[in-house]
Every structure is written in structure tokens, then in C-alpha cells.
Structure 1
Amino acid sequence: MTAPEATGVYYDPYDPGINADPYPVFRRLRDESPLYYNEPHDFYAVARYEDVERGVTDHETCISGRGAILELIRAGIEIPPGVLLFEDPPVHTVHRGLMKRVFTPRRVAELEPGIRRFCARSLDPLAGAGRFDFVADLGAQMPMRVIGMLLGIPEQDQEAIRDQGDARLRTEAGRPMEYSDDFLDGEAFADYIDWRAEHPSDDIMTHLLQAEFEDETGTRRRLTREEILTYVTVIAGAGNETTTRLIGWAGKVLADHPGQRRQLAEDHTLIPNAIEELLRYEAPAPHVARYVARDVEVHGRVVPAGSVMMFLLGSANRDDRRYDDGDRFDVHRKVGSLLTFGRGIHFCLGAALARLEGRIALEEVLKRFPEWEVDLDGATLATTSTVRGWESLPVRVG
């Protein structure tokens, strides 16, 4: 391991040992090194809630236009238009406005019956088996079906599309992700886009094909084919990966807290708040990075323009300065304003959908399997530097 900075604390987002349980390191960063610098990977990081919240909302100092992932910013790749997470105003404002037309509260609420059907289809065949996998049997299935339905991807193709997206995020343990200029080219969706142009339906692809808008130059137009391909690629990836991790963490954390799990099984009205606490306690995306566009002072030190700043969302969500005993899981906690979905202009547009999927998944699991314990010998964490969660989480059920 490379030498830590003077405080003796060391944080490396690629270190499998740290990633297995980053929270002791996060606590030390908050207490001992509120502005941290990692020399080997050349990034700064803040870990306290107040600092993370301030940083992610200051989109003029810490910009998104060069990417929101450390490796991507360092790669210097030109980001194609349509990647909402990796855009700044005024382009971001225009593109986000288009997507807000799709992810309306009414549209999200209408998905509930379909989500329940997908859960039932995944879980009902497992009755009597004595075990199932929170990820393989549910977490990797239901979100894929939901986002496929929203996009308009034929059901028989949804699994292959999901696997392609997952493969882009996988890394070799302990190593950064590698990027190429075509990492968001969207060619996997090209045939679907072309078919939808001739066969419109009530889905996101059709909406994007037909939407008219005023772009950042004041020109009234429709999206180009390349922009649509990028949009769809981003939505498909974001809609699958993080919700899959949320469902996996629900299985693990509630196995670790069986008393609280039994309370949820007995009273489903507690589940929405339990999902909020799960999102706080185990954020599927534990950090987000930004390019520093101008010098900024943090805790008495200057972070120079041209640096990369990493905002440790997973640490901020457990900061005792914000949450009483932040490392304690409590389904009765008044969670309030967590940072899991970001803040400000880049607040996750799919947050309501992720919460809905998480709530329904937990309700449907608890209806059928109120008791479970994790088979730790068969459980594996995913190797990725962008999200944190389980590749497999087999459980034994009574």
C-alpha cells in the first residue's frame, strides 16, 4: 500500500480491502483529514456531510462537464452530448428538461403494478426452494425489466442489454476502470431506435424521437440520432446498476438486523422509511468526482484549478455531525435529506423510481420470506470503482 498522508489515514477507492468496509476509513477522514489528498491517484476528497453538500451544489467551481468518475476525468475523453451526469449548464439545463418530461411523479406511480408483477415473476418460482439470491434472482431481474419497459426494449433482449451495461462498469480488483472514446456510443440500442422511429409507442425512446425543444443556442429542433443513443445508454445503465445494489444491500443489512426486519414484516408501513435508511446506510454509489474549474479553499487549504475532487457520499451519509450515531442502522430514524442521490442541478432524476422499486421489492420479499440469513461463503462484492454492492447474495430462508 502506498504511504498515507501525514495524518496516517489512507483512502483508495480501488483498494478491495477498503472497499469491503470503507466506513472505518471514512470516519477517520471526517475526523482527522476533512480535506484529503491522495498522491498516487492525484485527487482530493471531502468526507463530511457539510463539505460534500456544499461541493456538489457548487457547479461553477466543481464542474461535471469532464465526467463524474475519477478515471474518466483523468482520461480526458470528450463527453458526447446527452450524458446528463457529465454536463454543465446551459447544455445540462436543456437536456435535463427533456428527461423531466418522462420521469414525472404520475408516470413513476403508474409503474407500481408492473413492478409488482416483475417481483412476483422472480420470487414465486422460488417458494419451497429453501434459498434464493437477492441479486441474481431479484436485484438483477426486476430493475432490468422496469427500465426495459420504460425504454421500449423487447423483453427477450433486456438481459443482454443489461449485461453489456454491467460489463462497462466492471474492473479488475484493485485497478481503475479503463475508458475508450466509444464507451458511451450507444450502438447496442441503434436497431431499437431505428425500429421505434417507424413504430412509435408510449416509451422513452419514442418520447426522445418526437420531442421538440430549444437548445442552448436558441435553435428549435429535435435530438439527433447520436444524442438519443447516448441518452438511452445512460438511462439503461443508471436504471439497472444502482437499484440492483440497493436490493442487494436490503438483503444483507436486514439479515444483520433481524429484529428490525421482523418489525418490517409485521408492519409494511415502516418499509418506505426503511428504504430511506438503507439508502443512507449503504449508498449504492459511495462517491462522485468533479473537475475543479477554479481555485477553492477547503479547510484552510487551497485546492487548485485543474484538480479532481471526490465527494464521499457514503461517508457524508454517516457523518455524526448530521446524523446521531451515523454508523447505526435504524429503520425508525428520521433520515431527512440524505446525499445518496446527489443534490442541486444533478440530483438523480430516477430517485423516485429507485425508491419505488426498493419499496416494492422489500414488500414482496417479506410477504414470502420474512426470515433469512446470508450464505456468506457464496456472497461476493462486485468489482467496480463506481458503485458498491453485491455481485451475488445467496440467502437461506425458513
Structure 2
Amino acid sequence: MNSTKQPVQQNFTYDPFDPDVMADPLPYYRILRDEHPVYYIEKWDTYALSRFDDIWNVLGVNDGTFVASEGTLPAANVLAQRNDGAVPDPPLHPMPFHANFDSPIYENVRKCTSSQFRIRTVPKLADRIRTLANERLDELLPRGSFDLTQDYGGIVAASMVCDFVGLPVDLAPDVLATVNAGSLAQPGEGVEVGNARPGYLSYLTPIIERRRAEGHDGSVPIADSLIEYRLPDGSALNDMEAAVQMLGVFIGGTETVPKITATGLWQLLRHPDQLAAVRADLDANVPVAREEIIRYSAPAQWFARTVRRPYTIHGTTIHPGQRVITLLASAARDEREYDNPDDFVWNRPIDRLLSFGHGQHFCLGVHVARLEITIMIQEFLKRVPEYRIDEAAASRPPSSFQWGWNNIPVEV
């Protein structure tokens, strides 16, 4: 599971959409961290940042120097357009995803989607997550073999997303398949959330239509809050615009947690002494191991910002209109932050983590994600004394963004 292939040092180039990078970015990250911490990608007029501290500091700047006007995950065809100076916020209508806006629109729409994800609210979800995990295991364990990412973690996470947005839970398999398909990318193109929106919005727009008709009384908090929301000019969101604002929950909640959970169970199995240590006290030790699992295997590779004011780092000044991509997955393997970062160490002391981002755009669902990962690993290990991963059949499709194990077949 670690990367062994080293790219040729001579004439080193890095491009997140390069087929070799998409197939295995880790060797490129090491060279970037060591030799090119502020790497200019001429083709996209974009700088790649690869070291933990640099990314932490840049993402912590919330004064409007960095904005997401072109999206937090712009595709190649967006980056191919060179900007002549600072980029304005998008027009209010038709309103794109709120992460594309600076304050105050970004924070205010985010608040509409956040009530179920607050740190005080999330512990109340534990029983629901545990029930879903055990219902899945009741169905899967008698089969003897199944897919850890899709059949177990994927269905549990997608079921929770259905709960959050107001969809029937029996749609969870369809939601999971739709989101997975939206993350696949052809080399040279990358993933742009907008490309998959018609498929996503076929689930989300009817929720808004229904809630508007039913009176949006707050019983479906995200949809109802978006219907009530007013933009600074006093206008409301139409059905499709409100549905677009739900994409963060719909995609983020479905895709990442299953890959982290499944890869974590695989990593523990690869280190029997560590698995035994974690099993010794699942309640106490799984939350500790979870943080190392997230650091080691979180699949999100990078997020972008567009520079609105000049910013200087390591002697390089980035000018308004140019972009920065923060390589979160590189930061997770930075020797300057973690000792022997390519090793999996279940109880590694972790003071800081960038896997969920940092600053203004910190992951909305971080507390739910941590709880889901913890409970799914605990319940699996409680009920499965021995298991085996079919490593030859595991698959990790190339992606410029979600470079994670889509399939991890397990025998129990």
C-alpha cells in the first residue's frame, strides 16, 4: 500500500492531472517537499504547496487573501483560463456552491447546513450509526466475503447522508454509486463537482421542492434552512440553487469515510501486533488509532484557492489571479511534522492534522466523520475475530482528487 516507484529525478515535473501522478502521487510529493516546496505549474499558472507548515499557514489566512471563486476543486479546463488580476466573487444568481464565495455569504450558507454537525449535537448520532453498522454486518457476515469500502462503510455512510438531507434510507446504495461515479476522472481532466451535478441534483432538488410545498418547518434542518435563507440583496435561493448548497454534505458525507474506515481495517490487519493492541480495549484505543488511520489514508489529495492579494512564501510572491493548490495528502507524509510518516503507528502522537483541511473551509462534517469511523471499526472488530483482505483484488482507481481504495474485498 505504500508507494515504491520513484519518478525520474531529471527534468522533474508535477501536474495533479498527469496520469502517472494520478496513479501514485506519493513519490512526487516527497520530491516536492524536499526540493520544490513552492512549485510553479506553468501550464495552469498555479503554485503547489507540499509542506505541512506552509499549508497550515496558508489555509489559516482568512482575510480574503485566498478565495475559492473558481471552486475549491477546479478542473483542468478552469485552470487553463489565465486570470488577469484578482477574480471577483461569482454572481449571486444562478448561485454556485457557497464555498465559491468569500465572507459573509460563505459562512452564512454554511450555517444553514451545519446544525446537525456541531460538536455538541453529533454524540446523539452514535446509537443510529451503531444500529446501521450492525444491520449491515448482520447481512454481510453470513456471506463470508464482501467489500469493506462499498458494502460496509459505504452503505452506512450513505445511509447517514440520506438521514441528513431528508432522503429515504433505501436510496443509500444509489446515492453511494452516484457519488463514487462522480469522483472518477480521466487523466488530464481532473474532477469538477459541477460535471456530476445533474446526477446529484436529481436526488437533491426534489427534496427542496417537497419541503417548500410542505411548509419547511425545520424538521428537515438543512433543506428548510436553505429555503429560509436570504442573500445580501434580499433574494431567496430557487430550488436548484438550494439543492446545490447541499452538495457538500451529499458528496463529502458519502465518499471519504468508507475509504478511511476500510483502509484502516486493512492497515491494522497488516500490523498484527498493532491490531492486537487496539483489540485489547476497543472503546479506548479505536479513537486513538482513528487519528493515525485518517492521517495515513485520507483520500483527498488537494484543494485550490485563487489569490486575491499578493502573498509571499519562501521568497516567491504569488500574484492576484494566480492559484494555489494545497497538497493535503503530501502534508500527511511530511517528515517535518511526523516522525517516519510512511510508517503506520496506531498510537502515534498527532498534534495537528490537515486531512480535514484547516481555517475557513475546515470540513463541516469532521465530528460525524470521526464518530462514524470509530463506531464502524469498533463494531467490525467486536464481531469479526479473524479476517483476510484479498489484496490482489483491491482497487484504487486513478483520480486527481479522491485517491482512495474504492474496493477492498474481505473474507471473514
Would you call these one fold, judging by a TM-score over 0.5? Answer: yes
Shift of 1:240: 0.5
Native 8 Å contact 1:5 1:38 kept in 2: no
- Residue in 2 aligned with 1:18? 21
- Residue in 2 aligned with 1:207? 224
Shift of 1:334: 1.6
**Correspondence list, 1:102-141, <5 A:** 102-141=116-155
Select which of 306, 324, 338 maps to 2:353.
338
Shift of 1:359: 0.4
Native 8 Å contact 1:245 1:388 kept in 2: no
CA distance in 1, matches of 2:96, 2:193: 18
CA distance in 2, matches of 1:187, 1:75: 29
Matched, 1:44 2:47: yes
Shift of 1:328: 2.0
CA distance in 1, matches of 2:14, 2:387: 33
Matched, 1:57 2:60: yes
Shift of 1:40: 4.1
Native 8 Å contact 1:296 1:304 kept in 2: yes
Shift of 1:160: 2.4
- Residue in 1 aligned with 2:276? 262
Matched, 1:28 2:31: yes
- Residue in 2 aligned with 1:74? 79
Shift of 1:351: 0.3
Native 8 Å contact 2:90 2:100 kept in 1: no
The SS at the match of 1:44 is strand
CA distance in 2, matches of 1:63, 1:174: 24
- The one-character-per-residue Cα deviations of 1:202-250 (angstroms, maximum 9, x if unpaired) are 3334532564x56435x4x765433321122332111101112212321
- Residue in 1 aligned with 2:84? none
Shift of 1:67: 0.5
Native 8 Å contact 1:208 1:228 kept in 2: no
CA distance in 1, matches of 2:68, 2:135: 39
Shift of 1:143: 0.5
CA distance in 2, matches of 1:258, 1:35: 39
Matched, 1:311 2:315: no
Native 8 Å contact 1:287 1:310 kept in 2: yes
Go from structure 1 to structure 2 and tell me whether the alpha carbon gap of 1:251 and 1:174 turns closer, same or farther (over 3 Å shift): farther
- The one-character-per-residue Cα deviations of 1:242-282 (angstroms, maximum 9, x if unpaired) are 11221232133223222212221221111111111111112
Matched, 1:143 2:157: yes
The SS at the match of 1:111 is helix
Native 8 Å contact 1:82 1:228 kept in 2: no
Residue range with higher mean Cα deviation, 195-204 or 133-142 = 195-204
CA distance in 1, matches of 2:61, 2:400: 24
The SS at the match of 2:287 is helix
Go from structure 1 to structure 2 and tell me whether the alpha carbon gap of 1:214 and 1:70 turns closer, same or farther (over 3 Å shift): closer
- Residue in 1 aligned with 2:239? 225
Q: AA paired with 2:27? A: P
Select which of 158, 177, 196 maps to 2:191.
177
- The one-character-per-residue Cα deviations of 1:17-72 (angstroms, maximum 9, x if unpaired) are 43444323212211111111233444310111111111122242221121111317
- Residue in 2 aligned with 1:250? 264
- Residue in 2 aligned with 1:154? 168
The SS at the match of 1:229 is helix
Residue range with higher mean Cα deviation, 352-361 or 295-304 = 295-304
Identity value in percent: 31
CA distance in 2, matches of 1:180, 1:128: 40
Select which of 212, 224, 232 maps to 1:216.
232
Q: How many residues align?
A: 391
Shift of 1:7: 7.1
CA distance in 2, matches of 1:18, 1:241: 21
CA distance in 2, matches of 1:104, 1:189: 22
Superposed CA RMSD: 2.8
CA distance in 1, matches of 2:252, 2:100: 13
The SS at the match of 2:305 is strand
CA distance in 2, matches of 1:123, 1:75: 46
TM-score (norm 1): 0.88
Q: AA paired with 1:232? A: M
- The one-character-per-residue Cα deviations of 1:166-195 (angstroms, maximum 9, x if unpaired) are 332221256433676883783432222222
CA distance in 1, matches of 2:225, 2:165: 10
Unaligned residue ranges in structure 1 (runs of 5+) = none
- Residue in 2 aligned with 1:87? 101
Q: AA paired with 2:130? A: R
Native 8 Å contact 1:262 1:370 kept in 2: no
Matched, 1:287 2:330: no
Go from structure 1 to structure 2 and tell me whether the alpha carbon gap of 1:156 and 1:283 turns closer, same or farther (over 3 Å shift): closer
- The one-character-per-residue Cα deviations of 1:95-125 (angstroms, maximum 9, x if unpaired) are 1232333322233211111111111111122
Go from structure 1 to structure 2 and tell me whether the alpha carbon gap of 1:179 and 1:330 turns closer, same or farther (over 3 Å shift): closer
Matched, 1:272 2:277: no
CA distance in 2, matches of 1:13, 1:390: 18
Q: AA paired with 1:311? A: T
Go from structure 1 to structure 2 and tell me whether the alpha carbon gap of 1:131 and 1:262 turns closer, same or farther (over 3 Å shift): farther
Native 8 Å contact 1:251 1:393 kept in 2: no
Shift of 1:395: 1.9
Native 8 Å contact 2:299 2:404 kept in 1: yes
Q: AA paired with 1:51? A: D
